[in-house]
Structure 1
Amino acid sequence: MSFLHLKDITKLYHKNTEIPAVHSVSLNIEKGEIISLLGPSGCGKTTTLRMIAGFEQPSEGTIELDGRMISSGEKAVAPEKRNIGMVFQDYALFPHLTIKKNVMFGLNQWKTREKRKRADEVLDLVGLASYGNRYPNELSGGQQQRVALARALAPKPNLILMDEPFSNLDAGLREKMRYDVTRILRETGTTAIIVTHDQKDAFAVSDRIVVMKEGEVQQIASPKEMYRCPKNCFVAQFVGKTNLMAGTMCQDLKHVDTHIGKVCLASHSEEMIENVKISIRPEGCRLSEEGRYNGVVETVTYGGEFQELTVRLNGSTEEAMSIYAPVETDIEPGSVVSFDITPELVALVE
């Protein structure tokens, strides 16, 4: 049985509205799993997190944690009795308390000696053992985040919820904190749900990703599967750049006939669907002097790790394709390029 089980969770903020903030979300999470709820602002991911925490009550559906029903119909366990830790976007540290006292704050039922011992343990775990007597304003953003995580871990919760934990950090620190948070959660075997709108955050920390749109789940998959096999056009575009194009399925169920020619799929289609759409990742387009596709480069954008080319295929009146090229390749607008498409980065989408 799943450690956390959400069944048909729906949230209506106003009874007379027809559009729920969250609509019929079901999700099973295993003990020790790290899950990300990923989607644009207003998609329902934070509302889902708040219903799990107990800050919001579902209009319909049930939530079960570690074999215990914590939300069902009109009955709900109070947030403080759910044994769930919460890390807020702004960390919510008490500025007038030392770091150690911030961590001890949620240990109300513990004896003083046990509180201090547990605070020392979790501060050591997050690499801040020597910072106990400092105050939040004396710490960097990354250090404050680790304190917030230590405070959430201190009561030994069944589950930790993190709401946009990396959004206040600059790019370099963000990457480091993704690694640190994942390491800490793995070391403690903690089950965690992280809300984010950033694909890189979700891909870096998650066992599985739940993509949401307008209150509904679009796809649940591992980062690799999500990227290589997006279920629909929304997922394909939200979890990375892609080229979407319409085509006709060939009789062999392995190729799609498009305006750029036949494109090979990663695997055979399970059924014959005449009119289809495919997603082609830009890095799946490999430059080659003898490539079967060719066109004229319209723009070149230097991205540091790669160059992004927009290429108008010969004779095509359709939208130009996006292709990633190696940074060491000398390419100028107006150049003619040839390329092949890697089947593993081509997917059928709805």
Structure 2
Amino acid sequence: MSFIQLNGITKFFTRTLKPAVDNLSLHIEKGEIITLLGPSGCGKTTTLRMLAGFEQPSTGTIQVGDEVVFKDGRSLPPEKRGIGMVFQDYALFPHLTIEKNVMFGLNKWSTKQKKERVREVLELVGLSEFNKRYPSELSGGQQQRVALARALAPRPHVILMDEPFSNLDAGLREKMRYEVTAILRKADTTAIIVTHDQKDAFAVSDRVVVMNEGIIQQIASPKEMYRCPKNCFVAQFVGKTNLLSGTLCPDLKHVETNIGRVCLPSALTESMDNVMVSIRPEGCRLSEKGRYVGTVERVTYTGEYQEVTVRLNGDLTVEPMVIYASIEQDVEVGSVISFDITPELVALVD
């Protein structure tokens, strides 16, 4: 049996006809790191708050370990759920030292137990020598680790993190993804993270749950999610992609589109009528004798690669394609280029 079970969770807010979360079911194993990923208003934070006990579902059940924490309107208070929360703004007390911030949730522990536990978790997050400092004397990344240490201190069953990297600059953000993941793994903690950033989700998660309009769109590992998006929303939200409609060929392995024939990673087992394919930009490789030919309309230099917008076959009724070229390649606006498409980065989507 899964460690965390959310079954048929629906949440209506007052004076709304459409649910914020719509019949959501999600099972999480012990020790897993799961990310709820989606745009603003998709229901991911509401789901997190219902699990924490800050919001009550309209219908459904929630179970953590062997304990049912919500069912039929009966709800276990947040402080009795064994769940630790790391808020987006960290919510540290500015007038307390780091040591006392971490100690704050250990009210029922003896003084000796408190000091020992604080020492353990500060050592876990690499901040032992900062125990007498105040939050204002720490960097953003250090404050985040203090917030995580405080959440871990009572030995909760689950850690919930709401947009944990949103307040950090790009360089620190990348570093903290690695550090937070390492801390959670070392603590052997089950964690659920909420974010709208695909890179955050992919960097830290065992599985990613993509949500839109209160409904789960897909649950998969980061690699599977990116390579095999289930539908157009997932394909477009998780990275950039080119969506093309077409007709499945008799061999069940190729799709005839308005840019030409596109090869799928493997043959389908049954025929279909009209289909939609997702082609990732990095799946398009520039080649002097490539199958697909087009005129470059725009080139955006990102530092890591060039994002090239290409109009194929001179057809203005067809959306141009976006492909990635390496920074060493000389690509100019107005030039004619050719490329091939790697089948492994092509997927059929709903």
> Do the aligned residues in 2 keep the contact of 1:87 with 1:163 (CA within 8 Å)?
yes
Partner Cα distance (2:274, 2:146) in 1? 53
Question: What letter matches 1:147 in structure 2?
Answer: V
Distance 1:65 1:268 in 2: 41
Identify the residue that residue 254 of structure 1 maps to in structure 2.
Answer: 253
Displacement of 1:290 in angstroms is 1.2
Matches within 5 A, 1:305-320: 305-317=304-316, 318-320=318-320
Q: How does 1:47-86 map to 2 (within 5 A)?
A: 47-86=46-85
AA partner of residue 275 (structure 2): V
Return the TM-score normalized by structure 2.
0.99
Output the CA distance in 1 between the equivalents of 2:314 and 2:336.
13
SS in 2 for 1:195: strand
Aligned-residue offset at 1:174: 0.2
1:7 pairs with 2:7: yes
Q: State the one-letter code of the partner of 1:95.
A: P
1:265 aligned onto 2:287? no
Alpha-carbon shift at residue 226 of structure 1 (Å) = 0.3
C-alpha separation between the residues in 2 aligned to 1:158 and 1:252?
Answer: 51
Letter of the 1:45 counterpart? K
Aligned to 1:156: 155
> Runs ≥4 in structure 1, deviation > 6 angstroms?
none
Partners of 1:17 and 1:172 in 2: CA distance:
40
Q: Residue 136 of structure 1 corresponds to which residue in structure 2?
A: 135
Structure 2 residue 341 is the aligned partner of structure 1 residue 341: yes
Separation in 2, partners of 1:107, 1:267: 55
**Range with greater deviation from structure 2 (16-25 or 200-209):** 16-25
Partner of 1:46: 45
2:107 is aligned to 108
Amino acid at match of 1:84: I
1:98 paired with 2:97, answer yes
Aligned to 1:214: 213
- C-alpha separation in 2, matches of 1:340 and 1:17: 49
Q: Cα deviations across residues 59-103 of structure 1 (Å, max 9, x unaligned)?
A: 000000012100101111100000100000000001111000000
CA deviation after TM superposition for structure 1 residue 272, in Å? 1.4
* CA contact 1:8–1:62 (8 Å) conserved in 2: yes
Give deviations 1:299-321, integer Å, cap 9, x for gaps. Answer: 11001110000001124330110
- Residue number in structure 1 paired with 2:17: 18
- The match for 1:298 is 297
Q: In the TM superposition, what is the alpha-carbon distance from 1:188 to its structure 2 partner?
A: 1.1
Cα pair 1:12 1:19 within 8 Å, conserved: yes
Deviations 1:27-86 (CA, angstroms, capped at 9, x unpaired): 010000000000000000000000000000000000000121001011111000001000
SS in 2 for 1:217: strand
- Between the aligned residues of both structures, percent identity stands at 72
**Secondary structure in 2 matching 1:211:** strand
Decide whether the 8 Å contact of 2:158 with 2:191 is kept in 1.
Answer: yes
Amino acid at match of 1:52: L
- How far the C-alpha of 1:335 sits from its partner, in A, is 1.1
- Tell me the number of residue pairs that the alignment of Structure 1 and Structure 2 aligns: 349
Q: CA deviation at 1:270?
A: 3.3
Deviations 1:256-286 (A, max 9, x none): 0000111001122233111011100000000
What secondary structure, in the 3-state scheme, does the structure 2 residue paired with 1:324 have? strand
* C-alpha separation in 2, matches of 1:270 and 1:215: 32
Partners in 2 of 1:135 and 1:183 — Cα distance?
24
Letter in 1 for 2:300: T
**How many angstroms apart in 2 are the aligned matches of 1:327 and 1:163?**
36
Q: CA deviation at 1:193?
A: 0.2
Q: Which secondary structure state, in structure 2, belongs to the residue aligned with residue 109 of structure 1?
A: coil
Cα separation, 2, equivalents of 1:127 and 1:18: 48
The runs of 5 or more residues in structure 2 that have no matched partner are: none
RMSD: 0.7
Q: For the Cα contact (< 8 Å) 1:259–1:316, is it kept in 2?
A: no
